[in-house]
A = this chain, B = another copy of it.
Amino acid sequence: MDAKLREPLRDLVKCSLPAALEVMGERWSFMILRAAFNGLHHFEEFQSELGIARNILANRLGRLVEHGILTRTAVAADRRKIQYELTEKGAALLPTMLALRQWGERWETGFRASPVLVDKRDMRPIAPIDVRAWDGRVLTKHELLWALPEDVDYGEAGLRAAE
């Protein structure tokens, strides 16, 4: 019945990853998201593109809508059709999806994907998704540290980094 000495250590791991995974951690969720980023909007498009079972697709679309990742609206011109569209919250997953995809390119498939996401104004591919300091410097593993809140310098600007 002694209090665990390492209890503070367990608290180290109160982070938002579980919450994020509750929304996006199921099978197919990221694939559906990617399809949405690539401009697909309809049930049958997702189904034939991904080859996913229809009941699973219906379930996942429902969950993504529930969690505010996609909106679901009937198309006025053809009332059979439902239009799924990314919300701001869903679009905010782009860096996550790209980081995962880039990792897959580098460490699994070895090839560059198509289509390539480019900067519209010069048609160059985006940079690798990296960990950076507040001023934009790319940080390597050795320059990083896990710190407790009281040891962190949030700077004059306050909580900007969380946005």
**Which residues of A are in contact with B by a Cβ distance under 8 Å?**
10-25, 27, 30-31, 34-35, 37-39, 48-49, 68, 89, 91-109, 111-137, 139, 141-149, 151-155, 159, 161-163
Contact = CB atoms under 8 A, between A and B. Distances in A.
A139 to B, nearest CB: 6
A94 B131 CA distance: 8
B19 A152 contact: no
Contacts of A162: 102, 105-106, 112, 125, 128
This chain: copies in complex: 2
A16 to B, nearest CB: 3
A15 B149 CA distance: 38
Report the 6 A-B pairs with minimum CB-CB distance, sorted nearest first.
A16-B104, A20-B104, A15-B113, A19-B108, A115-B146, A96-B99
Contacts of A97: 17
A113 to B, nearest CB: 3
Contact of A149 (B20, B95, B112): B112
A131 B101 CA distance: 13
A154 B121 CA distance: 13
21 contacts: A15-B101, A15-B105, A16-B111, A17-B30, A17-B34, A17-B100, A17-B104, A18-B31, A21-B104, A24-B100, A89-B107, A95-B103, A98-B131, A115-B146, A116-B146, A117-B144, A118-B151, A119-B145, A124-B153, A126-B139, A127-B136
